[in-house]
């Protein structure tokens, strides 16, 4: 039996993993879908005080409270920042780190670092204009969703804590790279804010060469949009099971 910890990206909640959790549990495994502070069913806690560190602590607390070891940690989109931090601080507790169409930062970068200037300026301006310094909900059409999937995601997305956007993360790439890693590249349609990350996965010099070293890294392509846990749950579950 394997243990999975699943962490959603911005604006989402643990709810988005429902279809994947069902499949992992049917296969006889344990799956914990974390909801980060301020979003999903924890949206009532939204506050300008929430930072990237708050969300790192959310995930670390689940691993500690549930006394989890040998964890397959899957992190989606923005949560690539969180997964990197967890691997840096709690690497021996992880079996595999899966970046699901996620941010894979360099040391000292923020979630915003690889975004186009217009995107950064628009999100910062929107946060400043909000009552609680939050990032407004995007249209799930950006994730290639349609029909019932689109409607389900659209009505459940919630504003995201804005002070996570420019928060930088310092970490040791070699320590993170000691954990085996998989990047799930979602290509149809490819989300523009992840475009800057994709070339890094093929760059032998990324993390000064550490990305290709340590526990090993691979890339898996899914021909779907940015929310594969919604649009291709069986295929994503199969990727996670292969990492276990």
Q: Residue 127's Cα: distance from chain center in Å?
A: 21
Using 50, 70 and 90 to split pLDDT, how confident is the model at 117?
very high
Return the pLDDT at 40.
98
Tell me the pLDDT tens digit for each residue of 121-133.
999 999 999 999 9
Note if 112 is an active site residue.
Answer: no
For the chain, how big is the Rg over CA atoms in Å? 16
Query: Torsion angle, CA of 176/52/160/181, rounded to 10 degrees?
Result: 0
- What is the percentage of the chain residues whose pLDDT exceeds 90? 100
Helices and strands (H and E) in the chain: how many: 8, 8
Using 50, 70 and 90 to split pLDDT, how confident is the model at 12?
very high
Using 50, 70 and 90 to split pLDDT, how confident is the model at 178?
very high
Alpha carbon of 215 to those of 96, 134, 142, 150, 187: distances in Å? 9, 37, 33, 37, 25
Q: Comparing C-alpha atoms, which of 79, 97, 56, 95 is closest to residue 211?
A: 97
Return the pLDDT at 147.
98
- The whole-angstrom separation of Cα 60 and Cα 67 is 10
Using 50, 70 and 90 to split pLDDT, how confident is the model at 167?
very high
Show the beta-strand stretches assigned E in the chain: 3-7, 30-34, 71-76, 94-100, 134-135, 160-161, 181-186, 217-222
- Residue 8 near residue 93 (C-beta atoms within 8 A): no
Return the pLDDT at 41.
98
Residue 24 in tokens: 């992992």
- Residue 236 near residue 222 (C-beta atoms within 8 A): yes
- What is the percentage of the chain residues whose pLDDT exceeds 70? 100
Tell me the pLDDT tens digit for each residue of 38-96.
999 999 999 999 999 999 999 999 999 999 999 999 999 999 999 999 999 999 999 99
Return the pLDDT at 55.
98
- The whole-angstrom separation of Cα 144 and Cα 174 is 35
3-class SS letters over 99-159: EECCCCCCCCCEHHHHCCHHHHHHHHHHHHHCCCCEECCCCHHHHCCCHHHHHHHHHHCCC
Task: Give the start-to-end residue ranges of the domains of the chain.
Answer: 3-231
The active-site residue out of 47, 77, 110, 134 is 77
- The whole-angstrom separation of Cα 112 and Cα 51 is 14
Q: Residue 68's Cα: distance from chain center in Å?
A: 19
**What top-level class would CATH report for the domain 3-231?**
alpha beta
Return the pLDDT at 99.
98
Return the pLDDT at 218.
96
Using 50, 70 and 90 to split pLDDT, how confident is the model at 148?
very high
């Amino acid at each position: 039996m394997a243990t999975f910890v699943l962490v959603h990206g911005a604006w989402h909640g643990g709810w988005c993993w429902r279809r994947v959790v069902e499949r992992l549990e049917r296969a006889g495994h344990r799956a914990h879908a974390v909801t980060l502070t301020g979003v999903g069913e924890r949206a009532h806690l939204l506050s300008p005080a929430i930072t990237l560190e708050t969300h790192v602590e959310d995930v670390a607390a689940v691993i500690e409270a549930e006394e989890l070891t040998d964890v397959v940690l899957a992190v989606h989109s923005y949560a690539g920042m969180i997964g990197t931090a967890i691997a840096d601080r709690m690497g021996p507790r992880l079996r595999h780190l899966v970046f699901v169409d996620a941010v894979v930062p360099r040391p000292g970068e923020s979630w915003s670092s690889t975004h186009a200037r217009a995107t950064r300026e628009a999100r910062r301006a929107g946060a400043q204009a909000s009552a609680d310094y939050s990032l407004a909900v995007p249209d799930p059409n950006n994730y290639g969703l349609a029909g019932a999937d689109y409607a389900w995601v659209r009505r459940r997305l919630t504003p995201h804590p804005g002070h996570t956007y420019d928060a930088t993360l310092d970490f040791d790439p070699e320590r993170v790279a000691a954990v085996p890693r998989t990047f799930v590249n979602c290509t149809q349609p490819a989300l523009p804010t992840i475009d800057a990350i994709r070339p890094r996965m093929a760059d032998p010099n990324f993390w000064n060469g550490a990305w290709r070293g340590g526990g090993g890294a691979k890339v898996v392509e899914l021909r779907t949009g940015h929310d594969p846990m919604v649009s291709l749950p069986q295929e994503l579950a199969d990727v996670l099971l292969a990492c276990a």
